[in-house]
Amino acid sequence: MQSERRSTWTLAAWALPCLPMAGLGLPLVVYLPEYYSSELGLSLAAVGGAFAMVRFLDMAFDPFIGGVMDATRSPIGRFRLWFLISVPIVATAAYMLFMAKPGVTAGYLLLWLLVVYAGTSISTLAQVAWGAVLSNDYDQRSRIYGWWQAGNVVGIILVLTLPALLPMVGIRAHGVGVAAMGWFIVVLTPLTVAFAAWRVPEPQVAAPATRAGLRAYLGLFRRANVVRLLVADFLIGAGPGITGALFFFFMERVKGFDKGEASLLLLVYFLGGLAGAPLWTRLATRFGKHQTLAVSNLLYAATTLCALLIPPGSLAVGALLMFLIGVPFAAGAFLLRAMMADVGDEERLEGGVDRTGLLYALLSGTVKLASAAAVGVGFWVLQQFNFDPSARGSSEGLDGLSWLFVLAPAGLALLAAWLVMNFPLTAERHADIRRRLAERDLADAAAQPSKPEEIHAYTQRPAE
């Protein structure tokens, strides 16, 4: 049996592409909707509708590409190959979206959102599924996805420094900051993905390639553990999605910060997430992933409500509270993905087929559904409050904006905590699943003595 611990350098290389991908993901939710409505002249309804429509269309793409990945066999692996394929798609679409000029149409936004989300679907799904096969150990998966989350947060921090630093050197044009984010993504994406593909191994699977059709996709929804994780992922993703979509409106119009100060507060929020990632990894190892996830959501709900206490214009108090809100934010995404890797083992034991790509496609779908709800529903509700994003001096709709900014994320986090508190796939249950899988793999290998190399990669490949 191989050592279950991947080296720090291997995990760092695997997580490196998170830098540009997170640098793309945050602006898509936080900067671009506001930028296209406030600076490029599209209406709130047009922007919200475009983002929501693309997210719903993109969700149908995830199970398709997840099934294709599971059926892929190549000399460099299933997921590493698709990670490389995603690079030109992401880079081209990012350039078109971030370099857009005033006068663009809703059709232009819709087209390039479709392309960029297709590329990020392939990239994100390939990376997280690749992480699931790097180790089969319950606790090491928390460590692996802890690196993934840390890479995402560092990427967000790096891209946030661009609009925060530009005013310090005399550049205050909002469009220049958005373009700088675009170049960050276009340049770093091919470099980091190529490095990860070069340095990180992908264990080969012995199972024959099987194409997942609609029946296999729908069959996963009959598994209670899968459904519970998907609902929890939606709730946990929708809360910060609402925070992100409304962040600049809230900080500028309600709390009186300018664009640069608001960007700095958002940076501090993610610094809190970076500080929290290793904390939640240690707690998950000691107390279990599901219990740690429940506690993090309770803390997130409590701290999010405190955003109302930020005195208008007080950067110091705002930074402190945003840091505290950011600490529990880090836990949800990576712990759920580590838990889904365990569910993948359960599915392989009971169903006899490796559905890693399809399972992570389902998670990718809930992220997109949550994002669509955050932007589409959030902007629609704002419009019902008669909030006007271009009426800088008006107070109309500000009370509704404030309560939507804190109550929706807090309520969703409380629901998620209740949902995952008693998750049944514990470390002990997972250890039994791995034992039974190892016994079956060895029995299958013994029945085919002419092909000993086809023992499952988890029992065959040395750790790196």
Q: Which of 98, 86, 95, 90 is nearest to 115 (CA)?
A: 90
Q: Tell me what the mean pLDDT of segment 444-462 comes to.
A: 49
Residue 143 to residue 149: CA distance in whole angstroms: 10
| pLDDT reported for residue 454 | 39
Contacts of residue 325, Cβ cutoff 8 Å, sequence gap at least 6 = 269, 272, 300, 303, 304, 306, 307
Range with the poorest average pLDDT among 66-75, 308-317, 451-460: 451-460
Residues in the chain: 464
Q: Tell me what the mean pLDDT of segment 219-248 comes to.
A: 86
- The first and second tokens of residue 224, run together, are 């209670």
The number of beta carbons lying within 10 Å of the beta carbon of residue 302 is: 15
- The first and second tokens of residue 407, run together, are 């109550």
Burial of 71 (0-12, 13-18, 19+ CB in 10 A): middle
Q: Tell me what the mean pLDDT of segment 270-277 comes to.
A: 88
The number of beta carbons lying within 10 Å of the beta carbon of residue 245 is: 27
Which range has highest mean pLDDT (81-95, 155-169, 278-292)? 81-95
Is the pLDDT score of 403 beyond 70? yes
Segment 239-248, tens digit of pLDDT: 888 888 788 8
Domain ranges within the chain, ordered by starting residue: 8-438
| pLDDT reported for residue 451 | 45
The string over 347-362, giving b where at least 16 C-beta atoms fall within 10 Å of a residue's C-beta and e elsewhere, is bbeeeeebbbbbbbbb
Is the pLDDT score of 187 beyond 90? yes
Q: Which amino acid is at 61?
A: F
Segment 7-66, tens digit of pLDDT: 889 999 999 999 999 888 878 877 788 788 777 777 777 887 887 788 777 777 887 888
Contact 247, 262 (CB under 8 A): yes
Segment 110-143, tens digit of pLDDT: 899 999 989 988 998 899 889 888 888 888 888 8
To which CATH superfamily is domain 8-438 assigned? MFS general substrate transporter like domains (1.20.1250.20)
| pLDDT reported for residue 458 | 40
3 state DSSP class of 1: coil
Q: Tell me what the mean pLDDT of segment 196-213 comes to.
A: 72
Q: CA distances (Å), 127 to each of 153, 197, 245, 315, 359, in order?
A: 16, 10, 25, 37, 13
Contacts of residue 440, Cβ cutoff 8 Å, sequence gap at least 6 = 349
Q: Tell me what the mean pLDDT of segment 425-450 comes to.
A: 78
Residue 242 to residue 226: CA distance in whole angstroms: 24
| pLDDT reported for residue 455 | 39
Is the pLDDT score of 3 beyond 50? no
- The first and second tokens of residue 404, run together, are 């939507």
